A = this chain, B = another copy of it.
């Protein structure tokens, strides 16, 4: 199997993994099957996710066919997954290798699985998209409606309990911590979920409800309940959330300074 020399993310993951195989024999089996046997990030990920998303209702073989169909049809998914891997690597101080999110971070796995479900939704394959949504929710504790729109370079840290609704839009380079909700209000159809700008950081347990805008570079404090627009480059916190300051950088999602919200 040959490897494209120009895909530096994949190259790096392979090199890191080749070293791990030497140092941890217990994982050699898993690392060979999941990474070293494959010649692209996409085939490796379809292998890895297929094992995780498989169930008595849909075998790993069947799930993988869908994943590969999506990866082949929409190259944007491949671009986004590379940006997501780099986002975790750059922002999560507990992550020191590119291979770590790929192999072990369920936030990354949930996000890529959603990207496939979103592609299915766009193709009008609503039932299969819902099927994926269910598997993602059961396996990872992350519930993203397949119609939601999510940009590149996203970090979903820890990830358990994240909920993102049908008409939500999330920009690029956003960081979402565990138990964050981007939810709707009321049962009417139509546009009813938050729009989150680029570079936004939403801390653990924050609930953002309704068709409101979280401006570019804004930061939402942990445990906040946000029901109104948040201006760009401001920090909001509290129940209900109020503006309490200004982030220490243009894109708080990148600096991950959760403590800033009570400065």
Binding site for B on A (CB under 8 A): 1, 20, 23-30, 32-34, 36-37, 47, 50-52, 54-62, 64-66, 90-94, 100, 103-106, 125, 127-128, 130-131, 133-134, 137-143, 145, 147, 158-161, 163, 165-166, 177-179, 181, 183-189, 192, 203-205, 207, 209-210, 221-225, 227-228, 237-240, 254-262
Give the distance to chain B from A236, nearest Cβ to Cβ, in Å: 12
Q: Show 19 residue pairs from A and B whose CB-CB distance is below 8 angstroms, ordered by the A residue.
A: A29-B37, A51-B57, A52-B56, A61-B64, A91-B187, A93-B188, A93-B189, A94-B145, A106-B134, A137-B160, A138-B140, A143-B160, A161-B178, A179-B205, A183-B204, A185-B260, A205-B205, A205-B207, A240-B262
B255 with A186: CB separation less than 8 A:
yes
Residue of B nearest to A139 (CB): B138
Rounded to whole angstroms, the CA-CA distance of A25 and B32 in the bound complex is 7
Rounded to whole angstroms, the CA-CA distance of A203 and B125 in the bound complex is 30
- Among all A-B residue pairs, the 6 with the closest Cβ atoms: A185-B259, A28-B32, A51-B56, A29-B33, A223-B225, A104-B134
| Residues of B with C-beta under 8 A to A20 | 127
15 extra interface residue pairs, beta carbon distance < 8 Å, beyond A56-B60, A227-B259 = A24-B127, A27-B58, A28-B32, A29-B29, A51-B55, A51-B56, A59-B60, A61-B61, A91-B187, A93-B187, A100-B130, A104-B130, A179-B205, A184-B256, A187-B256
> Assuming the A-B contacts A184-B258, A256-B186, are A160 and B161 also in contact, with contact meaning beta carbons closer than 8 angstroms in the complex?
yes
What is the oligomeric copy number? 6
Give the distance to chain B from A246, nearest Cβ to Cβ, in Å: 16
* Neighbour of A181 across the interface among B103, B128, B178, CB < 8 A: B178
Rounded to whole angstroms, the CA-CA distance of A160 and B181 in the bound complex is 11
